Amino acid sequence: MTRAVLSIALGLLTAASAQKVQTPIPIGIALAQTGNVALLGQEQVIGARLAEKHINARGGIGGTPIKLIFQDAAGDENSAINAFQSLINKSNVVAIVGPTLSQQAFAADPIAERAKVPVIGPSNTAKGIPQIGDYVARVSAPVAVVAPNAIKQALKLNPRIKKVAVLYAQNDAFSVSETGTFQETAKAQGLDIATVQKFQTTDTDFTTQVTAVLNSGADLVIISGLAADGGNLVKQLRQLGYKGLIVGGNGLNTSNIFPVCQQYCDGVIIAQAYSPAQPSAANQLFVKEYRAQYKKDPPQFAAQAYAGVQVVVDALKALDRKKDLAQWNLNDLRTALNKQILAGKYSTPLGELRFDKEGEILQKDFYVAQIKMKDAKNGSFVYLK
């Protein structure tokens, strides 16, 4: 019995290693389509699909179309691991864009690393993601680079700020890493951290935290969480009478918080790695296509997922010019693709991108925006100089 299983396994292994690359070229997308993070995942799926449409409309890779294979990675580690395994072993993808959360990346990326399949993190901004392995890169700038800009901007708007209240979602790896950056920046700017409050991303009732913030006499509140909890927190802070400035982290950087905090979102300051106003041709085209379909400006998560797919495709194009993709054996292509991804330079909606040798994104343009609500439902991110 064992022998039979072994020989079947060996057979499968040799079959896989000698496999040719399929056409259309399969690229794996492992994002949160269900679960509590689907809110962000849905935006990413939209971004990835737009990229696919755009690329195939322009002849794909040297005439060969690409095909995105979607596997729902939901919001938990197990689903991400299953999605990765299925994409690598069943769908034979050349690379994977995903997962949505940093927390999932720490669990699922090592699987791609062992299988030698390149992974592009579209929204993993926690510390240590590129260091997971040689095959892991990301197009989402780390919080340590993005977050400090927001605090500096808040101090520009109100130089008299002295005391800060910091709140973060303690069950989310990304928020924990972001709040660390926020707290260091606040201290470096000479601010006094009056209170640090924790919550869970699944929380809806923040009365306890808000009461503590009000009692601490803070004149700046900094929130690291996701859209639902972050938006609710903003709303309850304002309803209970907090009047000072609020800085939101990357998780609040989505138009999805508008329906949550409604008119109370007004004035929240958010540092961003993407702006629809970014002038590059690649971005203006992306914004135009997105607006045509969704009647609003694209959010950062859509832009980053788009950029993730684009990076994979541009690297594949470079390889295809050397040797027709259909001639490659799958494993060799995955390895060569990983090298090519790290070597290339890309003009994406995020502006010009490169990677360092670990797979960390090198990005030029960052923004700080302030939310302006037109009415209870519609708002926009207005860019501050």
Partner 1 sequence: MELSQFLQNVLNGLAIGSVYAIFALGYTLVFSILGIINFAHGAVFTLGAYFTYTLVVGQFENNGLLKGINLFPDGSPFSGTPWLFALATLVGAVVAGLVAVLVERLAFRPMRARGADPLLALVSSLGVALVLVNLIQLLVGAEIYNFPSDAYGQVQPALSFQVGDRVVIVRTVQIIIFAVSLVMLAILGYVIGRTKVGKALRAVAENPGTASLLGISVDRFILITFFLSGFLGGLAGTLVGTAFGVAGPYFGVTYGLKGLAVIVLGGLGSIPGAVVGGLVIGLAEAFVPAQYSAYKDAVAFALLFVILLVRPQGLLGRAQIQKV
Contact 244, 221 (CB under 8 A): yes
> Which residue's entry shows tokens 């699922």?
108
Nearer to partner 1 by Cβ, of 215 and 329: the residue is: 215
Distances (CA, A) of 23 to 86, 111, 133, 327: 18, 24, 28, 11
State the distance between the two ends of the chain, measured CA to CA, in whole angstroms: 69
Nearer to partner 1, 139 or 176 (CB): 176
Q: What angle, 0 to 180 degrees and rounded to 10, lies between the N-to-C axes of helices 173-188 and 148-157? A: 50
How far apart CA 17 and CA 95 sit, in angstroms, is 16
Rounded least distance, CB 114 to partner 1, Å:
31
Shortest distance in whole angstroms from residue 344 CB to partner 1: 34
Checking phi first, is residue 212 left (phi over 0); if not, alpha (psi -120 to 50) or beta?
alpha
* Residues within window 40-79 making contact with partner 1, judged by CB under 8 A: 41-42
Instruction: State which of residues 7, 131, 211, 329 lies at the interface with partner 1 (CB under 8 A).
Output: 211
Instruction: State the binding string over 112-151 for partner 1 (x if CB under 8 A, else -).
Output: ----------------------------------------
Helices (H), the chain: 2-17, 38-57, 77-85, 102-115, 143-146, 148-157, 173-188, 207-216, 227-239, 258-261, 281-294, 300-322, 330-343
Counting DSSP H helices and E strands in the chain, the numbers are: 13, 15
Smallest distance from partner 1 to CB 136, Å: 27
Question: Which segment (19-27, 210-218, 316-324, 339-347) binds partner 1 by CB under 8 A?
Answer: 210-218
- Please identify, using beta-carbon distances, which residue of 88 and 167 lies nearer to partner 1: 167
Q: State in angstroms the smallest separation of the CB of 42 from partner 1.
A: 6
3-state helix, strand, coil in the chain (%, to 5): 50, 20, 30
Q: Which stretch binds partner 1 (CB under 8 A): 9-17, 38-46, 99-107, 128-136?
A: 38-46
Near partner 1 by CB under 8 A: residue from 56, 85, 170, 280: 170
Q: Which stretch binds partner 1 (CB under 8 A): 31-39, 93-101, 178-186, 298-306?
A: 31-39
Contact 157, 132 (CB under 8 A): no
Give, as ranges, the residues between 323 and 382 that touch partner 1 (CB under 8 A).
376-377
Q: Which residue has the tokens 């030029």?
A: 364
Q: Please count the other Cβ atoms lying within 10 Å of the Cβ belonging to residue 377.
A: 10
Write down the least CB distance from residue 110 to partner 1, Å: 27
One of 195, 224, 304, 363 touching partner 1 (CB under 8 A): 195
- Smallest gap from residue 255 Cβ to partner 1 (A): 10
Of residues 227-286, which lie at the interface with partner 1 (CB under 8 A)?
227-228, 231-232, 235-236, 238-241, 256, 259-263
Nearest residue (CB) to partner 1, 38 versus 315:
38
192 near partner 1, judged by CB under 8 A: no
d(CA 383, CA 350): 15
- Interacting span for partner 1 (CB under 8 A) from 37-45, 284-292, 323-331, 358-366: 37-45
- Token duo for residue 374: 């037109």
Name the one residue in this structure whose structure tokens are 């439902």: 377
Q: Roughly what angle, to the nearest 10 degrees, separates helices 207-216 and 227-239?
A: 50
- Taking the complex as a whole, the smallest distance from the CB of residue 8 to partner 1 amounts, in Å, to 34
Nearer to partner 1, 264 or 328 (CB): 264
Binding of residue 175 to partner 1 (CB under 8 A): no
Least Cα distance to 110 among 87, 86, 131, 89 occurs for 131
Identify whether the C-beta of residue 349 lies closer than 8 Å to the C-beta of residue 303: yes
Cβ proximity to partner 1: between 26 and 122 the closer is 122
**Of 72 and 320, which CB lies nearer to partner 1 in the complex structure?**
72
Q: Does 198 bind partner 1 (CB under 8 A)?
A: yes
Q: Which residues bind partner 1 (CB under 8 A)?
A: 34-36, 38-39, 41-42, 170-171, 195-200, 202-205, 207-209, 211-212, 214-215, 227-228, 231-232, 235-236, 238-241, 256, 259-263, 376-377
